[in-house]
Amino acid sequence: MSVTVPAGFRASGVTAGLKASGKPDLALVVNDGPLAVAAAVYTSNRCVAHPVRWSREVTADGSVRAVVLNSGGANCYTGPDGYATTAATAARVGAGVGCPATDIVVCSTGLIGDLLDREKLAAGVDAAVAALSGDGGRAAAEAIMTTDTHPKTVVRTAPGGWSVAGMAKGAGMLAPGLATMLVVLTTDADVDAATCAAALRAATRTTFDRLDSDGCMSTNDTVLLMASGAAGVTPAAAEFAEAVRAVCHDLTMLLLSDAEGSEHDITITVRGAASEDDAVEVGRAVARSNLFKCAVFGRDPNWGRILAAAGTTGAAFDPDAIDVAMNGVWICRGGQPGESRDLVDLTPRQVEVTVDLHAGAETATVWTNDLTHAYVHENSAYST
Amino acid sequence: MSVTVPAGFRASGVTAGLKASGKPDLALVVNDGPLAVAAAVYTSNRCVAHPVRWSREVTADGSVRAVVLNSGGANCYTGPDGYATTAATAARVGAGVGCPATDIVVCSTGLIGDLLDREKLAAGVDAAVAALSGDGGRAAAEAIMTTDTHPKTVVRTAPGGWSVAGMAKGAGMLAPGLATMLVVLTTDADVDAATCAAALRAATRTTFDRLDSDGCMSTNDTVLLMASGAAGVTPAAAEFAEAVRAVCHDLTMLLLSDAEGSEHDITITVRGAASEDDAVEVGRAVARSNLFKCAVFGRDPNWGRILAAAGTTGAAFDPDAIDVAMNGVWICRGGQPGESRDLVDLTPRQVEVTVDLHAGAETATVWTNDLTHAYVHENSAYST
């Protein structure tokens, strides 16, 4: 169900023929109102795909009627023809649901540098419009998958009779600068565009934006929140923001656990930082250390690689004061060996790393995965 | 021969027993003068090893009599005991060659976080002093190897009767912020400390500092240049600097081709940049893209991953103006597909990537390796 759980939304997922596998590859989510409120965040990559260029314009006024998403091709670095394909897709959806093309967000995912087949897309859009239904959320979530092994959906129902739901795709190129991947959130709360935008910005800042699976920032990342107002309930702004954050957090965890080739989900919490930015910088440096990620894959509690990564940052700390724990064992105290590394069990999928900088009171958490043979295999063979 | 080719140097390499393998693990290079001039550059990692802390003080006055290097342990994050071990090692060498401990540079390499056996080190130093000889350069180069598959030495002889030679170790954690790895350069030119320092800084800036094999900055990186003056020749500063640069370049290429698990040496040249810094930033971003590196391993000319990496930088360029070539084929023109990717042959070990930003006249080259199953294997099993 996912994105169609909140009242006022219909969705569908169909096979347009963009994927060689013949699996579903085109999803549509329509907001039937009464409101058509929306907010979005996009990748901060400067080399972005055409759907991002298009959709940034669409969402600027805080109003969106529908979002169409295709897998089977990112429509990125495809030149003016690629942009025309995105515009034509939006127009086709607009004609189908009865609104201007400029109220349609477009998302694409898949291989970079290949043109999409515009005729297949058009026929797929028509099929998706015809298939729209109040329980099409699951089909939509399936149609946006690429290397994902399962559809990713989350629903949070509030006591007051409204809800927030979301679907996401993403398994590689997971390292946002702002948002990440393709994510569609729906709510039937009666909220305005400013409330949506504030809630979404705040939510993505501490969820998707701190997932750094492989250090590679996507060209197509989009997170879209659409509000229908169909529940007729206006929650307090803080309550609404927390619901959006919770859904984003749960989707982030789904992305983490399905990252390409991963065998471990690694939670890196940096505490005792002089600032939240410092904590994030250190966490991200550790998350991007290939040597650390290989060590976790090998079930090796190699804390020296954590300190070596921290040392590349500009964060405030004394190298001789750092403590590091893995799965609760403080294997580094004051920048030198602490408890025995033999006490650390890295067999479970969940790995908790805690770095205490002893430089302040701020904290932040960054999530990443290990670097495995399967990751190398999947990403050396992706386009061939 | 390597570092003992220039007149005025003796060297040795012995087995101190620090390596479990029983292979040579302690090297000594002594400058017999008449000069004892030196310059050094060190890692810019803030979490550095004790030998780096010690040696930075030693080289501050531009005078060094000898350098002792051990493999089998990095002596990093080992606390006050670790620092005392470094100081004791320097003192032992000083007693052996007849100079104060403060004229002895110490370098260590190997696993982080383990204390070195001070008694084995002391006995090893005594053996190394006894073994010093005018043709000990090869033995020294062998004794500093860790995961290196062969010793790395370079000699350049100048027409005027002087020479520059060098030895290096390094195969992983190759991503310097300033210098990299352990490198000892010797020269018998009659040059002063300022000339040495200027030549070394300039040389490392465009050689070791632009080798980014795996994005991981070492805690022990040291490049030391020692001048004996024994040739009795004072070359022009520019001639000397070029000889030092050439030796550093050749050693960099040896490090590149022996990087852990690598199957490709990748040369990334960024041209048309508004500044040299921009060119380096873009080159390094590409060099650190795991997706790009996996693609090269898979012989997949996936230029989209190059643009996606460039897009994460702050360099000046228009994403719609970028051209990208791989091995001479311009597969991306103006940010969209150019010549057929089928024309690109990524079978050879050497891969040339050219990125033209069309934003200026500056250029820079960064070197990296592909990301392979063997890299993951080697670094997931290193300490176990």
Question: Which tens digits make up the pLDDT trace of B236-268?
Answer: 999 999 999 999 998 888 888 888 888 999 999
Nearest to A138 by CA among A23, A29, A18, A296: A29
Query: What's the DSSP call for residue A109?
Result: B
List chain A domain ranges.
Answer: 2-257, 265-380
Instruction: Note the pTM of the prediction, 2 decimals.
Output: 0.81
| Beta bridge pairs of residue B184 | B167, B224
Residue B272: which pLDDT band, with cuts at 50, 70 and 90? very high
Question: Residue A335: its chain B contacts at CB < 8 A?
Answer: 47, 77, 79
With a CB cutoff of 8 Å and minimum separation 6, the contacts of A236 are: none
Annotated catalytic residue A180 = yes
**pLDDT of amino acid B47:** 80
Q: How far is the C-alpha of A249 from the C-alpha of A152, rounded, in Å? A: 12
Of A173-187, A320-334, B19-33, B313-327, the one with minimum mean pLDDT is A173-187
CB contact under 8 A, B376 and A372: yes
The CATH code of the domain at B265-380 is 3.10.20.340
- Chain A residue numbers with beta carbons less than 8 Å from the beta carbon of B297 are 376, 380
Interface A-B: count of C-beta contacts within 8 A? 204
From CA A200, how far away is CA A226, in angstroms rounded?
Answer: 10
Residues of A numbered 198-217 whose beta carbons fall under 8 angstroms of chain B's beta carbons: which are they? Answer: 214-217
What is the C-alpha separation between A185 and A204, in angstroms, rounded?
12
Look at phi and psi of residue A33 and say left if phi exceeds 0, alpha if psi is from -120 to 50, else beta.
left
Angle separating helix axes A79-97 and A118-131, nearest 10 degrees: 20
Judged by CB atoms closer than 8 Å, whether chains meet at B303 and A76 is answered as no
Query: Is the pLDDT confidence value at A383 over 60?
Result: no
Contact yes or no for A223/A192 (Cβ under 8 A) = no
What pLDDT, on the 0 to 100 scale, is given for residue A321? 93
Residue among A109, A180, A187, A204 flagged as catalytic: A180
CATH number of this structure's domain B2-257, picked from the four choices 3.40.640.10, 3.40.50.2300, 3.60.70.12, 1.10.3720.10: 3.60.70.12
Interface of A with B in 53-82 (CB under 8 A): 74, 76-79, 82
Residue type, position B168, single letter: A
CB of A170 closer than 8 Å to CB of A145: no
Do B158 and B235 touch, CB atoms closer than 8 A?
Answer: yes
Examine domains B2-257 and B265-380 and report if their fold is the same: no
**Comparing A360 with B221, which gets the higher pLDDT?**
A360
What is the DSSP pairing of strand B265-273 with strand B362-369? antiparallel
State the DSSP H helix or E strand holding residue A200, giving kind and residue range, or none if neither. helix A193-205
The interaxial angle of helices B303-310 and B276-287, nearest 10 deg, is 130
Q: Between A222 and B164, where is the model more confident?
A: B164
Instruction: Tell me the residue type at B26.
Output: L
> Tell me, what DSSP letter sits at residue A59?
G
pLDDT of residue B180: 44
The neighbouring-strand residues paired with B266 are: B351, B368
Beta bridge partners of B333: B336
Q: Please, which residues 321-350 of chain A have a Cβ atom closer than 8 Å to chain B?
A: 322, 332, 334-337
